[in-house]
Amino acid sequence: MNYLSTRGEAPSLSFTDALIAGLAQDGGLYLPEAYPRLSEREIAGFAGLPYGAVAQAVIAPFVGNALERKALRAAIETAYASFDDAAVTPLTQIGDNLFLLELFHGPTLAFKDLAMQFLGQLMPQVFAARGKRATILAATSGDTGAAAVAAFRDAVGVDLFILYPKGRVSDVQRRQMTTVAAENVHVIAVDGTFDDAQALVKALFANKRLRDEFALSGVNSINWARLVAQAVYYFVSAVALGSPRRPVSFAVPTGNFGDVFAGWIAKRMGLPVERLVIATNANDILARALATGRYEIGAVQATQSPSMDIQVSSNFERLLFETYRRDSAAIRRLMSALRQTGGFRIASEPLAAIRGDFDAVRVGEAETVEEIARVWRETQKLIDPHTAVGVGAARAALKAKPQVPMIVLGTAHPGKFPAAVERATCIVPQLPPRLADLFSRQERFEVVANDPAGLAAYMRGRLAASKRAAS
């Protein structure tokens, strides 16, 4: 299986090359040449299987012969052994035909662990097979960084540098990054916003000399392997409710469009998905785009669901590429208009195709609080504000098709965002016992000025020190 760039001007790559590259050299995102299709019998056969077995069946066709089957199986088994629920992603009912898929049982309590734990097994193997040490560099608004630190701590042959905006991530998120004492983990607070941190990372990746010097690799949500790993739980949960005999719909709290695009991949692979509901907070660029056909960047607003406070949904480019029938010249035009004018119009045929699969619902701040309170009142379950945006959108979408089961993706544990949960329910959600001492652990981080040359110098120093420690 080979992978193509959405912009059509980068070489096509194997699964492992696309895994290491992250972004394509032409600025595009990688997609498979074709989507493997699972038969109804194969999908029906997932019923009752352990999570790892379904993951193997869904992921293997995308890997092709880039990795040995045994190595892939071992990576999957180890990745999901760290979850605190035997089902990995348990499904519960929270209303009439309304279900909650709990994606927060991994080490850092957000769904990012599902993909990142898998990358943490896979990438060191690939670097080792190529005989080179690598540096993973990523900016985070909170959850990705925590998940990456948990996944790559003590990995052999890999150094991890995580940049977060100082004072702009939650205490739990920060401590999950800064309290991990591993020689290969380097957590950096940037004086600035998430966009500043992201711009620093992009500046280093854009510099070929630095890219080669550090052997830079990325793990942000445009990495294709993350999306494939996320397609797995769409199968697991749909089959638990009677698919492929019975179609289901999903409501997905959305920021960068990675998670909900994984649902679209599952549908392309043969899962009978009726509707994919994009749930957005006040940062509603996708809801506006589906309603009006105009994709237009607005100002980022801070909300109670900060992991979705994003205006440019990078992975949306993948859906555009598919709905423009893989016309990479058209995608280059759209992305250049986005850069130059801050927006573009989606042509009528691709817009109709997008509306054929997706709904988009905006859930405001007051409604988010109401939803947390309502779910608590009706089910005695606490949900986090991101999940609440999903539940609000799910209820709105269920009205149109009440007979089709609706699965809401629960993207974070309530204990990760306690302030919003307390505001809605007057209850302070607790962290799971394994994280109970998080606030008494020692923090380690460095503050670095918002400047690419300074960051590169800092990284050189840290790498030299960790080399000395290792020898």
Ligand X SMILES: *Cc1c(COP(=O)(O)O)cnc(C)c1O
Catalytic residue numbers, as ranges: 112
Part in contact with ligand X (CB under 6 A); list of ranges 31-39, 211-219, 256-264, 394-402: 256-264
Q: How do beta strands 294-296 and 273-280 pair? A: unpaired
From the list 37-45, 251-259, 290-298, 332-340, the region that binds ligand X by CB under 6 A is 251-259
Using CB under 6 A as the criterion, what x/- string covers residues 106-125 for binding ligand X? ----x-x-------------
3-state secondary structure of 397: helix
Smaller CB separation from ligand X, 136 or 172 = 172
Could you tell me which stretch among 78-86, 250-258, 333-341, 422-430 binds ligand X (CB under 6 A)? 250-258
279 interacts with ligand X by CB under 6 A: no
- Per DSSP, what are the bridge partners of residue 59? none
Site for ligand X in 126-185 (CB under 6 A): 143
Could you tell me the smallest distance in angstroms from the CB atom of residue 136 to ligand X? 18
Centre a 10 Å sphere on the Cβ of residue 91 and count the other Cβ atoms it contains: 17
Residue type, 196: D
User: 């998430």: which residue's tokens?
Assistant: 194
Minimum Å gap between C-beta 428 and ligand X is: 19
The least distance separating ligand X from the CB of residue 310, rounded to whole angstroms, comes to: 7
CB 165 within 8 A of CB 190: yes
Nearer to ligand X, 40 or 85 (CB): 85
Phi then psi for 359, rounded to 5 degrees?
-115, 160
In Å, how far are 153, 223, 328 from 30, measured between CA atoms?
27, 8, 12
Cα→Cα distances 316→28, 280, 312, Å: 11, 14, 9
Closest CB 397 distance from ligand X, rounded Å: 17
Q: Which residue's CB is nearer to ligand X, number 176 or number 221?
A: 221
Structure tokens at 154: 């003590």
| Angle, helix 258-268 to helix 316-323, in steps of 10 degrees | 30
* Cα dihedral: 302, 255, 318, 267 (round 10): -160
Please state the closest distance from residue 347 (CB atom) to ligand X, in A: 24
Q: How far is the CB of 113 from ligand X (least distance, A)?
A: 10
Q: Pattern of binders to ligand X over 326-365, x per CB under 6 A?
A: ----------------------------------------
Q: What are the CA-CA distances from residue 4 to residues 11, 33, 199, 247, 354 (Å)?
A: 7, 6, 25, 30, 21
In the complex, what is the shortest distance from the CB of residue 109 to ligand X, in angstroms, rounded to a whole number? Answer: 9
Instruction: Give the contacts of 194 (CB within 8 A, at least 6 positions apart).
Output: 139, 140, 141, 164, 165, 168
Identify which of 116, 110, 50, 103 has the alpha carbon closest to the alpha carbon of residue 77. 50
Burial of 39 (0-12, 13-18, 19+ CB in 10 A): exposed
Task: Give the nearer residue to ligand X in terms of CB position, either 256 or 323.
Answer: 256
Cα(305)–Cα(176) distance, integer angstroms: 18
Query: How many C-beta atoms surround the C-beta of residue 127 within 10 A?
Result: 21
User: Is 257 among the residues that bind ligand X (CB under 6 A)?
Assistant: yes
Write out the E strands in 121-235: 134-139, 158-165, 185-190, 216-217
Candidate ranges 9-17, 249-257, 333-341, 443-451; the one touching ligand X (CB under 6 A): 249-257
Q: How far is the CB of 409 from ligand X (least distance, A)?
A: 8
Contact call for residue 263 and ligand X (CB under 6 A)? no
Q: Which of 173, 249, 254, 368 binds ligand X (CB under 6 A)?
A: 254
- 91-95 vs 98-102, strand pairing mode: antiparallel
One of 176, 223, 237, 256 touching ligand X (CB under 6 A) = 256
Instruction: Map residues 285-314 to x or -, x wherever contact with ligand X holds by CB under 6 A.
Output: ----------------------xx------
Site map (CB under 6 A) of ligand X, residues 377-416, x = contact: ---------x------------------------xx----
Residue 221 interacting with ligand X (CB under 6 A): yes
Q: From CA 388, how far away is CA 425, in angstroms rounded? A: 13
DSSP 231-242: HHHHHHHHHHTT
Binding mask 411-440 for ligand X (x = CB under 6 A): xx----------------------------
Q: Find the part of the chain contacting ligand X (CB under 6 A) among 204-212, 252-260, 438-446, 455-463.
A: 252-260
Total of chain residues touching ligand X, rule CB under 6 A: 16
**Which residues in this chain contact ligand X in the complex, by CB under 6 A?**
110, 112, 143, 221, 253-259, 307-308, 386, 411-412
